[in-house]
Amino acid sequence: MAAGYNWLLVLSSVFLCNLVKTFLPSISSFLSKVLQKDAEQEMEMRTEIQNMRLELSTISMMDEFARYARLERKINKMTDKLKTHVKSRTAQQAKMKWIVNIVFYILQAALMISLIWKYYADPVTVVPSKWISPLERLVAFPSGVAGGVGITCWLVVCNKVVAIGLHANSLQLWRCADV
Amino acid sequence: MEPGEETSGRSAAQRRAESRRRRLLQNSEQRMNRIVGFNKSDSDSSEARRAMEPRFHLDLDRNESWSPPVSTKRLSPYVSEAGGSSATPCETPERRGSPLPDSREDMGEDDVSRGVRQRPRGELSGDEHSRSPRRGLQKYLSRFDDAMKLRGQLGSEKAAQDSSTDPEELDSFRLFRLTGSVLLAVFVRIFVCQYLSIFAPFLTLELAYMGLYKYFPKVEKKMKTTVLTAALLLSGIPAEVINHSMDTYRKMGDVFADLCVYFFTFIMCHELILLFGSESS
């Protein structure tokens, strides 16, 4: 009975891979948020800068020039520090994105290779060979069973169909979000 | 009279020398032409020869319009003057006044042919030598400009892709194609596949799509500047050819997508029929 559902197993694996691929940016941003430790510090710095700017707007430059200049220098210093922080955070995010992508592609490749390895000799499903007559060898590759649908052919077909389906779905979601 | 004879003899020698010198100076251009290896008859034959010569410098230059190879441009600045004179090298006064007329007359043609032989076909004259690097530089600069523009375009498109999540539109014809493929697959599984290969109805459907294509509103597809198109553009292939190739490539992709959807639906139907058939039995 389980042998009859090979096509479904391959299809679900491909679907899962494509689904995870769609959510890769969200996953990487979530992971970078989780792993980021100095987010609070950055927030504090931002609020502090805002407070100091407010204070600066209340000071008259003519009357209290020394105080004004001191505060302005402080704001500049803090802004520079914040910029360095943001820069390092962006670099970290890019690094995280890169690592997540690499890990995903390695896992996907491992999954595909293992599927091909498993169903190298067995077709995922069998139909009468006459139905697919001119291309039966191509469709059956690499199993070589007459009328069988080989793993490579099925993987390609599933990938294409799932990509089209997910694309149409994302398009609909995007339209809904627009409305 | 001896001194007179002497003076007359000396003066005659001097006169001869003077006249020879003058002749040489007068025919300096023709002499130079002979040295360079050009004469009028050569100019006539060179037209035909130039047509057979490879013109790599012209073929490579896609920005400039093709200019016919004119033989007068080919050689030295002396060429135009030499072309104007009707005298062949054999008829030149220099030749006539040469001390060895026979040998020189034999050498006249020999010289010409030697002059031609001295310069191989692919070799350029001094003028072209000075012109082709300039042209090459212009070509290089234009290509460099193109490369910089394409780089900017690629960068901006990539940034736009990163920033916006706007997916590519599924136009009505594409939707129609996919729906048709699904419906045909179901129909074929239920009624046709017992009698015919499943690819025959699919090919008929594709032919029908080709005919129906013109009845659907044409969607202006945005041409994406990929690295491949940029490389093709920079290698000198015209943009129209690239557009045509990309259009063909896109159509092939559409047919492949249809085939995948058709085959997938067919197998799914088959499996579902098997499942329900086994359950009912």
Write out pLDDT tens, residues B258-281: 999 999 999 999 999 988 887 766
Record the pTM: 0.59
Q: Is the pLDDT of residue A78 over 90?
A: yes
In this predicted model, which residue has the larger pLDDT, A39 or B249? B249
The C-alpha of B262 sits at a distance from chain A's nearest C-alpha, in angstroms, of 9
Contact with chain B for residue A158, Cβ under 8 A: yes
Contact with chain B for residue A23, Cβ under 8 A: no
The C-alpha of A48 sits at a distance from chain B's nearest C-alpha, in angstroms, of 30
| Single-letter amino acid, residue A73 | R
Interface test with A, best of B197, B202, B259, B276 (most A CBs within 10 A): B197
- For position B28, what pLDDT does the model report? 73
| Cβ–Cβ < 8 Å for B126, B79 | no
Task: Mark residue B236 as left, alpha or beta (left: phi above 0; alpha: psi -120 to 50; beta: remaining).
Answer: left
pLDDT, tens digit (0-9, with 9 covering 90-100), for B54-89: 444 444 444 444 444 444 444 443 434 444 444 444
pLDDT, average across residues A77-92: 91
Which region among A83-87, A118-122, B10-14 has the lowest average model confidence (pLDDT)? B10-14
Contact with chain B for residue A166, Cβ under 8 A: no
Band of pLDDT at residue A39, cut at 50, 70 and 90: confident
Cβ distance of B267 and A149 shorter than 8 Å: yes
Listed in sequence order, the DSSP H helices in chain A are 6-22, 24-35, 39-58, 65-118, 136-140, 151-178
Q: Is the pLDDT of residue B108 over 80?
A: no
Of all residues in chain A, the one with the smallest CA distance to B256 is A160
Band of pLDDT at residue B96, cut at 50, 70 and 90: very low
Neighbour-count burial for A14-47, b at 16+ CB within 10 Å, e otherwise: bbebbeeeeeeeebbeeebeeeeeeeeeeeebee
Token code pair at residue B136: 């090459």
What's the complex ipTM?
0.78
Band of pLDDT at residue B243, cut at 50, 70 and 90: confident
Cβ distance of A171 and B169 shorter than 8 Å: yes
Contact with chain B for residue A127, Cβ under 8 A: yes
The domain spans of chain A are 1-124, 125-178
| Cβ–Cβ < 8 Å for A154, A10 | yes
Band of pLDDT at residue B217, cut at 50, 70 and 90: confident
The whole-angstrom separation of Cα A13 and Cα A112 is: 9
- For position B225, what pLDDT does the model report? 67
The whole-angstrom separation of Cα A125 and Cα B66 is: 61
Band of pLDDT at residue B36, cut at 50, 70 and 90: low
pLDDT, tens digit (0-9, with 9 covering 90-100), for A50-73: 999 999 999 888 888 999 999 999
The C-alpha of A133 sits at a distance from chain B's nearest C-alpha, in angstroms, of 6
Taking each helix axis as running N to C, give the angle between helix B28-36 and helix B2-26, from 0 to 180 degrees, rounded to the nearest 10. Answer: 50
3-state secondary structure of B77: coil
Of all residues in chain A, the one with the smallest CA distance to B261 is A161
The whole-angstrom separation of Cα B205 and Cα B200 is: 9
Cβ distance of A171 and B167 shorter than 8 Å: yes
Q: Which of A158-162, B102-106, B158-162 has the highest mean pLDDT?
A: A158-162
Contact with chain A for residue B257, Cβ under 8 A: yes
What is the rounded average pLDDT for all residues in chain B?
Answer: 68
- For position B223, what pLDDT does the model report? 64
